[in-house]
Structure 1
Amino acid sequence: MKVRLSCNCRSAIAWACLAFSGGSLAAESPAPVQINVVAINDLHGYMEPNPQDYPSAQGVTRLTYGGIATLGAMLDELRKQDPELLFIGAGDLIGGSPATSALWADEPVLEALNSMGMIVSSSGNHELDAGKAEFLRQIHGGCESTRPEKACKFRGTFPGSGFPYIASNLIDTTTGKRLLPAYHIQEVKGVKIAFVGAVPRNMEKVVSARAFTGLKATDEAHAINEVIPELKAKGVNAIIAVMHQGGHTSEPFDKQDCSQLDGAIVNVAKRLDPAVDAVISGHSHASYQCKVGDLSITQAGKYGHFMTQLKLEVTPGTHNVKTITARNLPVDPQAYVPNAKLTSLLEEVRHRSGEKLLEPIGRIATAELNRKVNAAGETTLGNFVTDAQLAMTQAFQTQIAFLNLGGLRSDLIQPANSDLTYEQLFAVQPFDNPLVVQELTGKQIIELLNLQWNRGNFNPLQVSKGFHYEWDGSRPAGSRVVEESVRLDGKRVEPSTYYRVVSNLFLADGGGGLTTLKEGRQRQDAGISDVEALVAYVRQNHARGVAIGQSGEPRISMTP
């Protein structure tokens, strides 16, 4: 069709004169469409609301957020506004889970996420807690499992997650290929949205060596950038990196475009191809909606406490995202009518788990043992758990217990008028990690303690009673432990003397970069897991009327 306009056209249509050549009308750009992406990360199998402390104007406020019934209700409400919203995950949706989910190999949580309409998730590190074969079973379904006592016990069969997992940088070393697809493309409202997944490049430090056998992780930015040409060739209209990698900021969870983000995610973000429009992150259990340069980077806390909503103005027919806005929505059970289907699922899980979950174990002599780290690096809960591990492995003549802070997943709160339950103790150590006994020299123990700064910041090991050391932060990394201060039962640890040490398998295999623990001699499986040791410790001492959990002498000191 030919259209003729006089080229003395005025203001409002003057732009149109420029769009004509030889009397032909240039095609107008299509109007942008709004795409809603809703994301969670680090759910860790938490099916019920759970309390956490958050900063507020009044100081620190304990808020009880989360739960699958509330997450489902929020999605119901958001879908009333946009039935085509895209619900995704940024990893660690399973693993490190409370007993309600862990007793059933996390199958109820995957069932819940599928019911909520999740379309894709990046893998995290905890998806691989039981190894790659079990993770693939959880994705694709089936009952052939390395955990036969848990797999398919909830429904009798297991169809799989119902949504794909992605990771551009997780490599199966047997085949040399990616274990999972690098990306997932979702078509909605006439546009293609690409989600590109990535796991932390230091996966070997956050997954036990046994579970990570046959796998390796490469650099996140490099792997994501590598697939950008392929996505462009497929005509995608927006690209979102979904990374199980994160950072921290002191800014509030709901501060728009926060600017003080720090941590590993910042370095990755700065190296991403400019074609990446936004980053949805995880792993650091933080809540933020920040920017690094012009790039939007978000994270929704942990345990289902928040849900991130991204609104993107996407132009059909081209890769042109005009605007992106982000907000973190509190998953507040008081603000929504619970989703009926998910409420029913939770009730079924609790009913079928009840006998084990509610089993009374015993009492401790204090109201609360928590994971709050003091200036020197101690926690009251860490002291308690290492004491339990030391006590319950005395048949192996153990002298020292070491524990990583990441092995503690929940505080321990003593009910006023009843015993602690199996569920409460399991929540503290949900990995059911085998305990390993071995011998280290005094020199190796000092080397181990100096490795606590090997990742750039202080990641303090928790130590058992009778063991003590001092560290000096003014010294260079690698020599911060004051050697003459390292003592066992008041006596200086001798460099050439062997000491019997117990730790969980993750640490014993050099997890967290603590490679000295792989060098011990006379290594033995203690035949008991960390949670079993904790349960037995509380039960036995309660039966004897022994008060446990009271604070004692400091175990770690810091030079002023």
Structure 2
Amino acid sequence: MHLSPSSWSRFTRTAISLSLSLGLLACATPQVQPIVVNMVAINDFHGHIDKEKFTVTRAKDSAPKTLVGGGIEVLGANLQAWRKEDKDMLFVGGGDLIGASPGISSLFADEPTLDALSQMGLRVSALGNHEFDAGLKELKRQIHGGCDSPRPDKACKLFGHYAGAQFSYIAANVIDKQTNMPMFPAYHIEQVKGVKIGFIGAVLRDTPMMVASDNVKDLNFIDEAEAINRTIPALKAQGVKVFVVLIHEGGTTTEAFDQPACSQLKGPIVDIVNRLDPAIKLIVSGHSHTGFICKVGDRTVTQAQMYGHLLTRIALTLDGSSHQVTNIEARNIVMETPSAAVPEALTSLMNKAKEGSHAIITQPVARLAVPVLSRKMNEAGESPLGNVVADAQLAAVKSMGVQIVFMNNKGIRANLETSSKNISTYGQISTVLPFGNTLVLMSMTGAQIRTLLEQQMWLDEESPDGRNVLQVSDGFSYIWDRNRPRGQRVLPESVKLHGVALDDQKEYRIAANNFIAGGGDRLPIFSQAMNKVDTGIKDLDVFLDYIKARDQAGSPVGSENPAGRVKRQN
């Protein structure tokens, strides 16, 4: 287009005028500031409401350091201090907040833990597999309140009443078999600083393998990523722009718990995260008891180890207009005793729990042969404490024809500690076996027992939780070789009972707790056993009786090394 000088002059004046007008308009329009939403996450608390010793290794440390901290008073003091920085801070959970708890909480059906978390302002948590430990009816009571419990000896015994959890438990992938709908809320919405944040919950789909089968018989646990992604349209329809996943599934990494943007995360959580809707940028995980702040693609995945030893502080920076996530910063903070004041209500609750449990927890039971009976497994997968637990169960049911006992290592939750003069208390012993499992008798052929021994070897490859070699009772022994092909790692000629090789065709009477007897811990061969009888005898009771009887007979239990029933060739 050709413009005359006068026309060009008019065009220039118009353009300048328009530019000036737009400039003035831009100056008149205020800049929309970014929004920062602060969160704190906890996972795998397991009712550890009291302070305790624990070790941590920071990225800058050359060796582990032993500290005293954790517990509801330390957590509460830190949370209260952080809320002074931002009153809108959200406290959220990654599951297993209760279950497998120390006596100070488990003696009262974990009501002190749920009350403490409510007082600390927990808003929402994923369900974990341990939330199902006492069954669906009890879980619903723990959430909604009341005293109608299958554990009447524990429920409402601390306060005389129980109001329920004052936070939401969510799980998109736990499906009621009758209705084919989620049994619990799939998500929870919080509105903070004018922003709607959708928290989506999930628990690992393998929960039925980790909980006594009767406790979840009415439920289906579906694929985690698929269930999470299904919730996105409903959340968007309600104006949610920010999506956070709280999931009880995890992974492991060799990097330090406080290593920023770790890159070596492995395990089931990685596959799940890679299949999530692109709108999800933050995943708070649990289950693997590992501390990490990792990147998986462009997403941030966190976990705060376990027992309240760490809390994860997270800052989400959002675009002020679109509310899209523009940055995520996360840090794992060690819960050392703080200088900040402890909320009085938490101190009062702690004192109440201590007073209520003191007489039971401090009751001396028996002397041990060693100061600490360790659950740590050697290279073959055998532990000194595992030997004693299996032997105690054999002693309880040997008169019923039982020849071999198998005990899952993950069912032994702590070392057996002692107080003065190697004497162990009820509280220390109950921490070792907190589930209240019962002993189940059954018959298996020699061939089935061999299959069982092979199945346990697969877990090294399939689970981030480490070895899960079964602990076995006195008289049973075998050798295995990691270098052999999968399914052939146990040396056939080495599997013996009292020095005699097992006969593949012969039936043997064995015992195991009701959890693994139902196929739990990924050991499905147990479900094929014959002539099953649940004795109703609790594992903790027989353990108490056994160590007490051994002490009274002048031969206290315990050694520093395993008995050598399981041996590893390579």
Q: Do both proteins adopt the same fold according to a TM-score greater than 0.5, normalized to the shorter chain?
A: yes
Deviation of 1:204 after TM superposition, in Å, equals: 1.3
Decide whether aligned partners of structure 1 residues 208 and 324 sit closer, same or farther in structure 2, where only a CA change above 3 A counts.
same
Between stretches 44-53 and 257-266, larger displacement belongs to 44-53
SS in 1 for 2:567: strand
Q: Following TM superposition, by how much is the alpha carbon of 1:528 offset from its aligned partner in structure 2, in angstroms?
A: 1.8
Q: Does 1:38 align with 2:48?
A: no
Aligned residue type for 1:70: V
Q: Which residue does the alignment assign to 1:481?
A: 490
Whether contact under 8 Å (2:294, 2:300) holds in the other structure is yes
Pair 1:502 & 2:511 matched: yes
Q: Which amino acid is the alignment partner of residue 425 of structure 2? A: T
Aligned-residue offset at 1:220: 0.9
Q: Where do 1:30-179 residues align within 5 Å?
A: 30-55=32-57, 57-179=61-183
Letter in 1 for 2:546: Y
1:35 maps to amino acid = V
Contact 2:371/2:422, CA 8 A, preserved across alignment:
no
Q: Which letter maps to 1:463?
A: V
> What per-residue deviation string (whole Å, max 9, x for no partner) do you get for residues 259-291 of structure 1?
111111111111111100200000001101111
Does residue 469 (structure 1) correspond to residue 478 (structure 2)? The answer is: yes
1:327-380 Cα distance to aligned partner (Å, 9 max, x none): 011111255443322111111111111111111101111122223222111122
Cα deviation code 1:69-122 (max 9, x no counterpart): 111001011011011100111100011111111111111111111111111111
CA contact (8 A) 1:454 1:513 kept: no
Question: Residue type of the partner of 1:302?
Answer: M
Letter in 2 for 1:200: L
- 1:435 aligns to 2:439 (yes or no): yes
- Cα 1:397–1:444 change in 2 (3 A) is same
Deviations 1:402-457 (CA, angstroms, capped at 9, x unpaired): 11121011111233425210000000111111111212111111011111134434
Q: Pick closer, same or farther for the CA change 1:394–1:61 going to 2, 3 Å.
A: farther
* Greater CA drift, 28-37 or 504-513: 28-37
Q: What secondary structure, in the 3-state scheme, does the structure 2 residue paired with 1:449 have?
A: helix
Equivalent AA in structure 1 for residue 68 of structure 2: T
AA aligned opposite 1:266:
V
How far did residue 24 of structure 1 move?
9.6
Name the CA distance, whole Å, in 2 between partners of 1:340 and 1:534. Answer: 38
CA 395–63 in structure 1, closer or farther in 2 if over 3 Å, else same: farther
User: How many Å separate the matches in 2 of 1:409 and 1:300?
Assistant: 19
Indicate conservation of the 8 Å contact 1:402/1:461, yes or no: yes
**Match for 2:503: what amino acid?**
E
Q: Secondary structure at the match of 2:277?
A: coil
- Residues 79 and 448 of structure 1: CA distance in aligned 2, closer, same or farther (over 3 Å): same
Whether the aligned pair in 1 keeps the contact of 2:262 and 2:293 (CA below 8 Å) is yes
- Give 1:181's aligned amino acid: P
Aligned with 1:277 (options 272, 277, 281)? 281
Q: Which consecutive residues of structure 1, in runs of 5 or more, have no partner in the other structure? A: none
- Alignment partner, residue 257 of structure 2: 253
Q: Does 1:399 align with 2:403?
A: yes
Letter of the 2:551 partner, please give it.
H
CA distance in 2, matches of 1:537, 1:334: 42
Q: Which residue of 1 is the match for residue 535 of structure 2?
A: 526
* Aligned-partner Cα distance in 1 for 2:67–2:385: 21
Secondary structure, in 3 states, of the residue corresponding to 1:157? coil
How high is the sequence identity, in percent, across the aligned residues? 42
Q: Could you tell me whether the CA contact under 8 Å between 1:249 and 1:262 is conserved in 2?
A: yes
Quickly say closer, same or farther: Cα 1:237–1:27, change in 2 above 3 A.
farther
* 1:184 alignment counterpart: 188
Tell me which residue corresponds to 1:493.
502
Counterpart in the other structure of 2:375: 371
Structure 1 position 164, deviation (Å): 1.1
Find out whether 1:543 has 2:552 as its counterpart: yes
Aligned residues: 550
The amino acid of 1:52's aligned partner reads F
Q: TM-score, normalised by structure 2?
A: 0.92
TM norm structure 1: 0.94
Supply the RMSD in Å over aligned alpha carbons: 2.2
Cα offset, 1:27, TM superposition: 6.6
User: Judging changes above 3 Å, is the alpha-carbon distance between structure 1 residues 398 and 237 closer, same or farther for their aligned structure 2 residues?
Assistant: same
Give the alignment partner of residue 360 of structure 1, picking from 334, 339, 364.
364
State which of 316, 320, 335 in structure 1 corresponds to 2:324.
Answer: 320
**C-alpha separation between the residues in 2 aligned to 1:24 and 1:536?**
81
User: Quick check: 1:329 aligned with 2:333?
Assistant: yes
Distance 2:440 2:183 in 1: 30
Alignment CA distance shift 1:6-1:193 (3 Å): farther
Residue 54 of structure 1 deviates from its aligned partner by 3.3
